[in-house]
A = this chain, B = another copy of it.
Amino acid sequence: MEKDLSQFIRNKAFLDKIVSAEEAASWIKDGMNLGMSGFTLFGEPKVFPKALSERGKKEKFKVNVYTGASLGPAADQAMAEADIVNLRVPYQANPVMRKKINSGEMYYIDQHLSHTAEEVRKGTLGKIDYAIIEAAAITEDGLIIPTGSVGNSPIFVEKAENVIIEVNISAPRAYEGLHDIFIQKEQGERKDIPLYKVDDRIGEIGIRVNPEKVRGVIISEEPDIPSPLLEPNEETQAIADHLIDFLNKEVEEGRLPISLAPLQSGVGSVANAVLKNMKDAQFRDVVVHSEVLQDGIFDLIDAGIVKFASGTAFSLSKKRVDSLAEDLEKYKGKIMFRPQEISNNPEVIRRLGVISFNTALEVDIYGNVNSTHVSGTHIMNGIGGSGDFARNARITIFVTPSLAKGGAISAIVPFVSHVDHTEHDVDVIITEQGYADLRGLPPVKRAEKIIEIAHPTYRPQLRAYFEEAKEKVGGQTPHILEKAFSFHQHYKEKGTMLFEQPEEVK
């Protein structure tokens, strides 16, 4: 390491605490609760979890790992492979870890992302033995400057008995000034979150830490981890088009101004396609109040469509990671990261009147949404912030291609095999077939609209279910319980949800 560390660790007390990752890892005891920075691969400690995982290969111990959201290969995957995780909270998205969870080899609590900080505050998850936080710098007065995410780091630092800071000297210097760290008091002792406009600064640029709790400072040079860039395909493009159509109609009918309302977009291919599409849309001076900021945001700022974007984390492709240092300078004052407790807070989302769109795994004919469980049992990632936004948004949109697995699965089913979002919280559903605007409709009228945006091959069998349910059972929400999972059942037995192969498949 050639660089002058005092440029990064500008407070002497912290310079004295530098230790190796191995040493820090050796402090961790079996059964401890670790609070780690990191959210969608960005901002996670990288050398500490690797060292801990290495230790795990030689020594038998398990820890509980709490984070902002998903960590990457150096953390979630390494720890899962080393088999050192007992319980993981509140979100993950790593294939290796996912497998361990679904095979029962480790525990996982899938939690609303705005709830975790409250759970830590209340002690429901036990005390935090160690907080391990990636930092771009430690300031003169001892503030920890986060890197590409804030997540739950502030609450972990506040509540932890010990803090380990992983200073990443390869992180862009311009991270400093990008964050807005606002800490809430206990429930019952707090006032409001004074965030009235998306670009209001309400907190400090870094995380305040009691220096006495800082047991070690680790130096890292591991770069930010890029996410795969998901280029739009025909399907995601069509979904994006319908979404823009829907928003255009809202503007035309006077329900939204040309600046829309603060936007939240989920992660993944559809979200990226939408952001791409927006470049050619009529919207102007849009603000973004999201969880994750993806590549598309920068282009929209360049195009003059978005004027300010806040979130709790980046999720960027290789191209953007490579130019991040310059970009952070370029977009200074137009981007801000807050704790996920603030970005995802019901108070803020509802006050601002966010328009939210997230991806569903499956949706049922009444508009209940499964975001997490394949076949109702095996977790994909987790609910993430989708519930925080869905419940409190001004308009709640879920998007999904109408088919999965090459047509063997219909994303629209009679009854979702797992419910993450109830019909009460879902306003609009979009597939490549079109959009179903469910606002102001009772269940049986919702079903009519939803069946219309199923794939044509599945519409007949969905309609048959719905008609039979209305006729034979009736009620506010007609169902035939013994056939509610007949699509899933058919898929399990025959490898397809399609009851009969149609003559001509569209």
Contacts and interface: CB of A to CB of B under 8 A. Distances in A.
Interface of A: 87, 101-104, 107-112, 115, 118-119, 122-126, 186-188, 190-194, 196, 255, 261-262, 345-347, 350-353, 368, 373, 375-379, 383, 387, 391-392, 394, 417-420, 422, 424, 439-442, 444-445, 469-470, 473-479, 481-482, 484-485, 488-489, 492
Contact of A419 (B347, B368, B484): B368
A476 B102 contact: yes
Contact of A444 (B104, B191, B345, B419): B104
Contacts of A478: 377
A362 B346 CA distance: 27
Contact of A110 (B108, B109, B261, B424): B424
18 contacts: A110-B476, A112-B391, A123-B255, A124-B439, A124-B440, A125-B440, A187-B350, A187-B352, A346-B392, A347-B350, A373-B477, A376-B484, A377-B476, A377-B477, A378-B476, A379-B476, A417-B481, A481-B489
B391 A391 contact: yes
B351 A347 contact: yes
Contacts of A387: 391, 422, 424
Copies held by the complex: 2
A123 B110 CA distance: 35
Looking at chain A's contact residues, is the secondary structure mostly helix, strand, loop, or mixed?
A: loop
Nearest to A374: B475
Contacts of A350: 118, 187, 345-347
A386 to B, nearest CB: 11
A260 to B, nearest CB: 10
A262 to B, nearest CB: 7
Contacts of A485: 481-482, 484-485
Nearest to A186: B353
Given A394-B122, A444-B104, A473 B377 contact: yes
A475 B373 contact: yes
A104 to B, nearest CB: 6
